[in-house]
Structure 1
Amino acid sequence: MKIALTMENSQAPKNAMVATELNNIAGGLGHQVFNVGMTDENDHHLTYIHLGIQASILLNSKAVDFIVTGCGTGQGAMMASNLHPGVVCGYCLEPSDAFLFNQINNGNAISLAFAKGFGWAGELNVRYIFEKAFTGNRGEGYPIERAAPQQTNAAILSDVKAAVCKDVVESLRAIDQELVKQAVGSSQFQECLFANCQVPEIAEYVKSLID
């Protein structure tokens, strides 16, 4: 699985730590990790709004399979991600949230709070969230006797999302193009997208913004 980590300006100083924990856990399980957001305070400027745009482009182009995102509270990054077609982002404050999202909702993105409640041993909480998010088979249900209705409802939710959120490129073109251009402007984002994109029209659209 290909996993992208994307972080915004307010929490960029924590990126090195978060990226290390994600690489140690996900990389250790054989997943490939791309650090596509802000890597420090001086990097290409992003807000949580840009993170949602990045999630949409990377997931819908199939450049990555999963997004790890977040902001100070984690709420803004979650809401910005869930605005877009093809993105199902859960909110994880603790490891049990990641486990339950993995088993019940089986989405393709999680948003973490990197400021709220992030004190002593914060890096341990991040580590254990990643362990629960990427360990074991997904979508098996919890408790197991509820697996069938949970799987049915997760599929229905995906169908509803597809019905109300239409064409990806069309939706991106409907946004202020300066927002999209800023979201795709960093070298690390472009490297991940263009090396792994499986939907040519999305790559062509992004290239039209940066050329």
Structure 2
Amino acid sequence: MTASNRVVLSSDHAAIPLRLAIAVRLARQDWVVVDIGPTTPESTHYPKHGEAAARLVASGDCRFGIILCGTGQGIMMAANKVKGIRCGVCADTFSARMIRQHNDANMLSIGARVVGEGLALDIVDAFLTADFEGGRHATRVDMITALEE
């Protein structure tokens, strides 16, 4: 199996219910969901969950990653520390589409305390159905990648 249809999901304790709703939606859309938890509501540290998901994307095991915490910000910051990751936090569908089309983002972060389930599912759909446009945007993505060196 290739990573082309694999999406890793991870969150902290604040976002478990929303993460599970996203997993159900993606499975219905024939994505292979790699849900790496957590599974219990005890307080946990979002950096380790953002990093774990990012490593699966960076390694090529998963094509995309979707990560969640209370605001989406902290877990996104942790994921972006992994070489090869371009993750954006989105609270609207336009931004989710644009981070794929213009930034070739390979991860999406959502704040479970910021958006409701219906909007979050729309954001995920916008992200996963958009394609990178390349062209002048590829030059800019290359510039971002060069910052990792």
TM-score by length of 2: 0.86
Count matched residues.
145
Point out where structure 1 has 5 or more consecutive residues left out of the alignment.
141-146, 164-211
Deviation at 1:105, TM superposition (A): 0.4
Aligned partners of 1:92 and 1:110 also within 8 Å: yes
Q: In proportion to residue count, which structure has more helix? A: 1
Aligned partners of 2:14 and 2:112 also within 8 Å: no
Q: 2:145 aligns with which of 130, 139, 158?
A: 158
Deviation at 1:69, TM superposition (A): 0.2
Q: In proportion to residue count, which structure has more strand? A: 2
Instruction: Name the structure 2 match of 1:31.
Output: 31
Aligned partners of 1:13 and 1:40 also within 8 Å: no
Q: 2:19 aligns with which of 15, 18, 28?
A: 15
- Between the aligned partners of 1:72 and 1:21, the Cα distance in structure 2 is 20
Deviation at 1:6, TM superposition (A): 0.4
Deviation at 1:14, TM superposition (A): 3.2
- Partner of 1:34, secondary structure, is strand
Over the aligned positions, Cα root-mean-square deviation in angstroms equals 1.9
Classify 1:15/1:153 alpha carbon distance in 2 versus 1 (closer, same or farther; 3 Å): closer
Deviation at 1:10, TM superposition (A): 2.0
Instruction: Name the structure 2 match of 1:125.
Output: 119
The structure number with the bigger radius of gyration is 1
Runs of 4+ in structure 1 deviating by more than 3 angstroms, as ranges, are none
Instruction: Name the structure 1 match of 2:68.
Output: 70
Task: Quote the sequence identity (%).
Answer: 26
